[in-house]
Amino acid sequence: MNREQSRTAGTLDEMPRLVKSERISVMIVISKNDRKIRIGYIPNDQLRNENGSILTRVGTRCTTCNENKGFTLLVERHTFLPSQNDNYFLQCDNCVERIGLEVSEVTKIERIAKLNEKLKLKKISKEKYDQKIEKLLRK
Ligand SMILES: [Zn+2]
């Protein structure tokens, strides 16, 4: 009886230490949570409208290789609970060079990229896509 009691007491004593180290490892995992999320692909010709380049700073082609057919819009989400930080990029489909984007630039092309992704995943008919993309590109 006595021996069992002391064993129980010993286990209880070690418990807080175990819980503590578990918490620490969870925190490390969370702080490393950097996710790269694909928003959608944008061909070069959708980066310009009748007034010229939609993103004047970026242009309509990769300035590093000048041989790309388009870019993929990506977001890197760094999570440090309770906050998160999003960094947006255009990634060249040829040389994989990345261009960091300002939020105001992302706003101009995000809907185009999302619509292209919908079509690619067949979540929208080609007919509907054509109607919507025309409106987006005319802006
Ligand atoms: Zn390139």
- Return the domain boundaries, the chain: 33-138
Can you tell me the distance from the alpha carbon of 139 to that of 36, in angstroms, rounded to the nearest whole number?
Answer: 29
Distance 37 CA to ligand 1 centre (A): 20
Query: Exposure of 73 by Cβ count < 10 A (0-12 exposed, 13-18 middle, 19+ buried)?
Result: buried
Distance 131 CA to ligand 1 centre (A): 30
The tens digit of pLDDT for each residue in 39-49 reads 999 999 999 98
Count of C-beta atoms within a 10 Å radius of residue 138: 8
Distance 59 CA to ligand 1 centre (A): 12
Can you tell me the distance from the alpha carbon of 90 to that of 77, in angstroms, rounded to the nearest whole number?
Answer: 15
Return the top range by mean pLDDT from 27-31, 34-38, 41-45: 41-45
The tens digit of pLDDT for each residue in 82-132 reads 888 899 999 999 999 999 999 999 999 999 999 999 999 999 999 999 999
